[in-house]
């Protein structure tokens, strides 16, 4: 296996629709891949796939290795970019040593993991038995990992290929859960002489709500409601708030529809202009392209009743977002965080999607309860779902030592051994297969879960060489 093979396969994968919950075409691709090469393949009722490559002659006594990646990807695009993930291939460029999708997500999370597995499966080099496991809907709730049944794979050593910093071996991750809150509001008539305006906050970098939450990037929804709250002193009507999409992505762009008296339209424009300057100053380093803007709008929506609108805006402002605690044991590791991911207005109801992560179970419960209390005070209903466990580090791991020794041999220095704040499926695997010995690693990716996601091609070469060496020499 070499990096050219992996990149070739990944380019094929970029042409296959595979949004979370719609993995049918990538599942069929994996099944066909196995059939064309005479490899055993199993698919469970959920859509998880395992492809099995038997040991080469002379390697029958090598312990079985399980290599794991997830089939789905986060499908995010710039609002201004006309693109359909269900029918069009991902547009990408090779630029300055990076493979980058400038207007959409690239899907290297976790398409590169899939491609590396497939390259090893078609390799003719001698190796022990491989079981390549491809789970579904990791990005929206780890549905595939939750649904795994005993006996679907047999190996006791597993390498998860879903990490994003080459040169780092991950041995632990945070657990998480989602919260969905809602507010049912009354509506009133548009006041006479009022004009509807669209207030927009956009141009944020966004990113992964686990890996990027500590980078102080702008959350467009939080900044939008910040502005709306300061404007409550004026007599405007709120019609809608919209922003965000995926629970594990930091919101990059959001807008509100408001109605103001015709003679105050210019004043509102001046306030937005002043707020734009504030955002540009506050986020000059983290989100240099952030903007706030206002434009006329037309809509059939009716305004939200004044008291309900005030409760909505105040509650959205009070909902926590960002890092809540740092680890006292592992320098630089986020211990607990929360992400206000999306807000939508439809049919007399405003809904809020939040996701929480922590490597300490009690803190995960506490941040969900803090949101619950905030919503209670604001008159919102709330329910929690999708909880998954963290992965406790095992520093005595055999696969860790093998991987560390391989990296040192190849590159002349030790890799970093770390835990990650993002959620990995490893915690669920360990619950279902308690004898598993696991690590996670991958090439360097940047901007995952946001348009502009990119893959460092030099890091991919090192990642491929490292994985290949582990597989060929595992014992």
For 395, the enclosing helix (H) or strand (E) is none
CB 219 within 8 Å of CB 250: yes
* CB within 8 Å of 355: residues ≥ 6 apart: 176, 177, 178, 179, 209, 247, 248, 338, 339, 341
pLDDT by 10s per residue, the chain, length 475: 999 999 999 999 999 999 999 999 999 999 999 999 999 999 999 999 999 999 999 999 999 999 999 999 999 999 899 999 999 999 999 999 999 999 999 999 999 999 999 999 999 999 999 999 999 999 988 999 999 999 999 999 999 999 999 999 999 999 999 999 999 999 999 999 999 999 999 999 999 999 899 999 999 999 999 999 999 988 899 999 999 988 889 999 999 999 999 999 999 999 999 999 999 999 999 999 999 999 999 999 999 999 999 999 999 999 999 999 999 878 889 999 999 999 999 999 999 999 999 999 999 999 999 999 999 999 999 999 989 999 988 889 999 999 999 999 999 999 999 988 988 899 999 988 999 999 999 999 999 999 999 999 999 999 999 999 999 999 9
Residues 474, 128: contact at Cβ < 8 Å?
yes
177-388 fold: Alpha-Beta Plaits (3.30.70)
Question: How far, in Å, CA of 28 to CA of 160, rounded?
Answer: 22
Alpha-carbon gap, residue 184 to 345, rounded angstroms: 10
| pLDDT score recorded for residue 364 | 95
With beta carbons less than 8 A apart as the criterion, state whether 175 and 364 touch.
yes
Q: What is the DSSP letter of 409?
A: H
Per CATH, the number for 3-174+390-473 is: 3.40.630.10
Residue 139 among the catalytic residues: no
Taking only Cα atoms into account, the Rg of the chain, rounded to an integer number of angstroms, comes to 24
Instruction: Exactly one of 19, 138, 287, 456 is catalytic; name it.
Output: 138
Alpha-carbon distance values, 61 to 128, 399, 437, 472 (Å): 8, 16, 18, 13
Tell me whether strands 98-100 and 349-358 are parallel, antiparallel or unpaired: unpaired
Please, what is the Cα angle at 219 between 217 and 221, to 5 degrees? 170
Tell me which H or E stretch contains 120: helix 108-121
Q: What is the pLDDT of residue 113?
A: 98
Catalytic (active site) residue 44? no
The pLDDT score that the predictor gives to residue 278 is 98
- pLDDT reported for residue 398: 97
289 vs 218: CA distance, rounded Å: 11
Upstream peptide bond of 26 is cis (omega within 30 degrees of 0): no
Question: Which positions ≥6 away from 80 have C-beta within 8 Å?
Answer: none
Region(s) of the chain under CATH 3.40.630.10 = 3-174+390-473
pTM of the full structure: 0.80
Separation between Cα atoms, residue 314 and residue 29, nearest integer Å = 48
Pair of tokens at residue 43 = 């698919």
Instruction: Write the CA distances from 410 to 13, 83, 293, 373, 470, integer angstroms.
Output: 29, 41, 52, 52, 11
Contacting residues for 74 by C-beta, under 8 A, at least 6 apart: 20, 105, 107, 109, 139, 246, 248, 249, 448, 449
Domain(s) labelled CATH 3.30.70.360 in the chain stretch across 177-388
Measured in residues, the chain has a length of 475
Catalytic residue among 72, 76, 253, 456: 72
At 244 the pLDDT is: 95
Residues 293, 140: Cα–Cα separation, whole Å: 32
Residue 118 corresponds to which tokens in the numbers above? 């497939």
Name, in order, each residue with C-beta under 8 angstroms of 286's C-beta and a sequence gap of 6 or more: 205, 215, 216, 217, 218
- For residue 246, CA distances in Å to 75, 262, 386 come to 9, 36, 14
Helix, strand or coil, per DSSP, at residue 201: strand
């Amino acid at each position: 296996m070499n990096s050219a093979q992996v990149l070739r396969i990944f380019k094929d994968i970029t042409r296959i629709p595979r949004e979370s919950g719609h993995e049918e075409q990538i599942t069929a691709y994996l099944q066909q891949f196995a059939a064309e090469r005479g490899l055993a393949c199993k698919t469970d009722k959920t859509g998880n796939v395992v492809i099995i490559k038997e040991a080469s002659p002379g390697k029958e006594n090598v312990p079985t290795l399980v290599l794991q990646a997830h089939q789905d990807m986060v499908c995010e695009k710039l609002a201004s970019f006309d693109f359909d993930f269900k029918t069009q291939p991902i547009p990408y460029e090779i630029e300055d040593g990076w493979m980058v999708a400038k207007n959409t997500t690239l899907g290297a999370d976790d398409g590169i993991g899939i491609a590396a597995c497939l390259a090893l499966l078609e390799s003719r080099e001698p190796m022990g038995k491989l079981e390549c496991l491809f789970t579904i809907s990791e990005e929206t709730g780890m549905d595939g990992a939750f649904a795994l049944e005993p006996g679907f794979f047999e190996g006791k050593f597993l390498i998860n290929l879903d990490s994003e910093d080459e040169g780092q071996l991950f041995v632990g991750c945070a657990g998480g859960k989602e919260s969905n809150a809602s507010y049912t509001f009354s509506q009133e008539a548009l006041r006479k002489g009022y004009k509807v305006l669209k207030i927009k906050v956009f141009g944020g970098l966004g990113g992964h709500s686990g890996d990027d939450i500590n980078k102080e990037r702008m959350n467009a929804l939080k900044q939008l409601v910040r502005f709306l709250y300061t404007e409550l002193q004026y007599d405007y009507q709120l019609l809608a708030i919209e922003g965000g999409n995926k629970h594990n992505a930091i919101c990059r762009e959001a807008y509100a529809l408001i109605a103001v008296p015709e003679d105050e339209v210019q004043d509102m424009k001046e306030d937005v202009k002043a707020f734009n300057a504030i955002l540009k100053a506050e986020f000059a380093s983290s989100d240099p392209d952030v903007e706030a803007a206002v434009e006329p709008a037309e809509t059939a929506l009716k305004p939200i009743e004044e008291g309900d609108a005030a409760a909505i805006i105040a509650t959205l402002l009070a909902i926590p977002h960002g890092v809540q605690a740092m680890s006292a044991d592992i320098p630089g590791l986020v211990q607990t965080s929360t992400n206000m991911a999306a807000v939508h207005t439809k049919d007399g109801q405003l809904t809020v999607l939040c996701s929480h992560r922590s490597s300490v179970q009690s803190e995960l419960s506490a941040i969900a309860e803090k949101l619950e209390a905030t919503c209670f005070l604001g008159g919102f209903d709330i329910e929690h779902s999708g909880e998954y466990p963290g992965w406790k580090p095992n520093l005595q791991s055999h696969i860790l030592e093998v991987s560390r020794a391989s990296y040192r041999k190849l590159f002349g220095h030790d890799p970093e051994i770390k835990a990650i704040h993002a959620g990995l499926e490893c915690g669920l695997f360990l619950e279902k297969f308690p004898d598993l010995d696991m690590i996670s690693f991958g090439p360097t990716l940047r901007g995952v879960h946001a348009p502009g996601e990119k893959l460092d091609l030099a890091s991919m070469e090192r990642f491929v060489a490292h994985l290949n060496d582990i597989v060929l020499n595992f014992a």
